[in-house]
Amino acid sequence: MAELNENNLRTIVAHFAAIEERMADPQVTSDTKRLTELSRERARISTAAELASQWLSLKSQIDDCSKALETEKDREMQDVLKGELEELRTQFQALSEKLQLELIPKDQDAGKNIYLEIRAGTGGDEAGLFVRDLFRMYTRYFDTIGLKYEIQDLSETGVGGFKEAILYVAGDKAYELLHFEAGTHRVQRIPATEANGRIHTSAVTVAVIPEADEDEITINPNDLRIDVFRSSGAGGQHVNKTESAVRITHIPTGIVVGCQEEKSQIKNRAKAMKALMSKLVEKQKEEHAEKYATEKKAQVGSGDRSEKIRTYNFPQNRVTDHRINFTAHNLDQVMDGKLEDIIGALLLADREAKMRKGENAVAK
């Protein structure tokens, strides 16, 4: 790893303090857009600033202890100072490694809320049943780690599964923890609908779309077709009572979004518009950020929905993430929302890849 720069760390600490000061300014607190930007920036650097502050303090203690040892004449006191200095240096080394990891450049969408979209792929009814299972897996994981979520849209099949499930997930860690979930998830198991007991393979696609800021894109109202209809399926006690559900089609791109979870048509329309903005921004990124996509693929996979990223093998109680060759034999626990090991392994692989990239750049 590259050596830490003391001046750079002081700058991070000062920048964090300045953000907190600005966030307390009444002019900022009354400006929702500016407050959101500062909150996101604060969340992005808070851990680095805290670690940098500890690093600077520990370095100062080491310097003081070293100077005291140089001037100390008493043998017994020298031994005490040497022991203290050794302990401080051990703490300093561990803290330096932790700080270096934290200072690895973050994704441009770090800190954003996201839309998690789960859709049935190949496999007929069994794929729909697995969408339901993944929906349950993710929501249990969110409950465990304290991420807030709302059901944006839910479309049922006739056999108890979901054609698609769209969730809005909010929290500083939402994007960081979930963006590697994007791709094709394959399931191997004996379907409940299979009378002969044969193992069936089906697939579900997951998309992770960062929430767009209001100033990231402008939508021409003339490019929209807005349909309203009665809500259906899980999520609403108001089903079939009022035409509150909203579907918006962006005519130039063919992108369709919907929301039916609120009783108010106005609220559903507002939520659908936010989702549409995010999808359009994501489409622009996909079209104009080929370099970014190449770098991401070199890390732990492209995240493309056509790429098979994970297999859930029920007969063997096995889950495998193909991008990092991670395999665990606790599929029953994973399906109950215990995703920490898989997601942790993905984040670690990503950090290591970025570190290697940084070291190679320094070497050149």
Higher pLDDT, 314 or 265: 314
- Beta-ladder partners of 115: 168, 209
Instruction: Judge whether 244 and 260 are in contact, CB under 8 Å.
Output: yes
Q: What is the pLDDT of residues 54-99, one digit of tens each?
A: 999 999 999 999 999 999 999 999 999 999 999 999 999 999 988 9
Q: Cα(163)–Cα(147) distance, rounded to whole angstroms?
A: 24
Q: Cα(78)–Cα(364) distance, rounded to whole angstroms?
A: 44
Pick from 183, 194, 186: nearest CA to 159? 194
Q: What is the pLDDT of residues 221-269, one digit of tens each?
A: 899 999 888 766 544 444 445 678 899 999 999 999 988 877 788 888 8
CA atoms within 13 A on the CB side of 270: 6
Q: Cα(57)–Cα(226) distance, rounded to whole angstroms?
A: 58
Angle at 37 between CA 33 and CA 41, to 5 degrees: 170
Pick from 57, 226, 234, 66: nearest CA to 153? 234
Query: Between the CA of residue 330 and those of 102, 203, 309, 314, 316, what are the distances in Å?
Result: 30, 20, 18, 10, 9
Question: What pLDDT, on the 0 to 100 scale, is given for residue 158?
Answer: 80
Q: Cα(343)–Cα(330) distance, rounded to whole angstroms?
A: 14
Pick from 9, 2, 130, 112: nearest CA to 60? 9
Q: Cα(194)–Cα(93) distance, rounded to whole angstroms?
A: 57
Q: What is the pLDDT of residues 261-285, one digit of tens each?
A: 777 888 888 889 889 989 888 887 7
State yes or no: pLDDT of 1 exceeds 70.
no
- Beta-ladder partners of 207: 117
| Dihedral angle computed from the Cα positions of residues 297, 301, 302 and 305, in that order, rounded to the nearest 10 degrees | 160
Average of pLDDT values for 274-299? 68
State yes or no: pLDDT of 36 exceeds 60.
yes
Question: What pLDDT, on the 0 to 100 scale, is given for residue 364?
Answer: 40
